[in-house]
Homo-oligomer: A and B are copies of this chain.
Amino acid sequence: MAQNDTVTRILDAAEVLFAEQGFAETSLRTITAKAGVNLAAVNYHFGSKKALIQAVFARFLGPFYKLIEVSLDMHEKQHPDSVLSIEDILKFVARAMANVTEGDRNRLAIFMRLLGLAYNQGQGHLRKFLQTEYRTLYRRVMALIARATPELQPVERYWRFHFMLGAAAFTLSSMEHLRAIVEHDFNTKCTEEEVVGYLLPFLAAGIRAK
């Protein structure tokens, strides 16, 4: 078994189990059993459980980060003086996310669950890790939003941005669960795309309130 294979199998298993159960609730024994690798392999390849958690995130964030940067770069090159609307900005983010999780429909929900968990659980190392990884992108997106909502005070814009983030993170991370309720209560199935289709107008209207 090539190194690449074992590492990937561990990351795949950990990603799913973390999202299903949380970080503390998932043991290395469960992960390695699901991955079909030796228990000691996690510490051999990653050094610790903490480092494994960060590696699971890095595998999502890296491509997402690059994709959105590249697509923003491209747009700015093609339309140097255009001011993006909130809807445009949200579409850029949504498209990058869809592309990163493409191929496996479940990964979007997993990604958001992990994000939600990271914010609420094990506070320390993960939040710091995310903040340093995200800082440049965060500033860039914030600057775009500021240009799209010149009427807002900075502090109010900051809060509204986090209201959007919260609505998105909470909903997408509980997507599976919420969709089951929809199916039960309304006899309708919702695809991820449809939910995102509902979400974006909500967010755009919210940030433009009043």
Contact = CB atoms under 8 A, between A and B. Distances in A.
B119 A121 contact: no
A120 B206 contact: no
- By CB atoms of chain B within 10 A, which of A123, A163, A201 has the most? A163
- By CB atoms of chain B within 10 A, which of A119, A122, A167, A198 has the most? A167
A158 B163 CA distance: 18
A168 interface: yes
Nearest to A178: B162
A167 B185 CA distance: 23
Interface residues of A, number: 53
A159 B182 CA distance: 9
A67 to B, nearest CB: 24
A165 B159 contact: no
A169 interface: yes
A190 interface: yes
A163 B174 contact: no
Contacts of A122: 22, 25
A195 interface: yes
Interface string A126-169: 01000000000000000000000000001110111011111111
Given A24-B22, A116-B120, A170-B167, A186 B210 contact: no
Contact of A120 (B158, B173, B203): B173
A127 B195 CA distance: 22
A166 B156 CA distance: 18
B204 A209 contact: yes
Interface of A: 20-22, 24-25, 113, 116-117, 119-123, 127, 154-156, 158-160, 162-171, 173-174, 177-178, 181-182, 185-186, 188, 190, 195, 198-199, 201-210
28 contacts: A22-B24, A22-B122, A24-B24, A25-B122, A116-B120, A117-B121, A119-B174, A120-B120, A120-B121, A155-B182, A156-B198, A159-B198, A159-B202, A160-B198, A162-B170, A163-B167, A163-B171, A163-B202, A166-B169, A167-B167, A167-B170, A202-B206, A202-B207, A203-B206, A204-B209, A205-B205, A205-B209, A206-B206
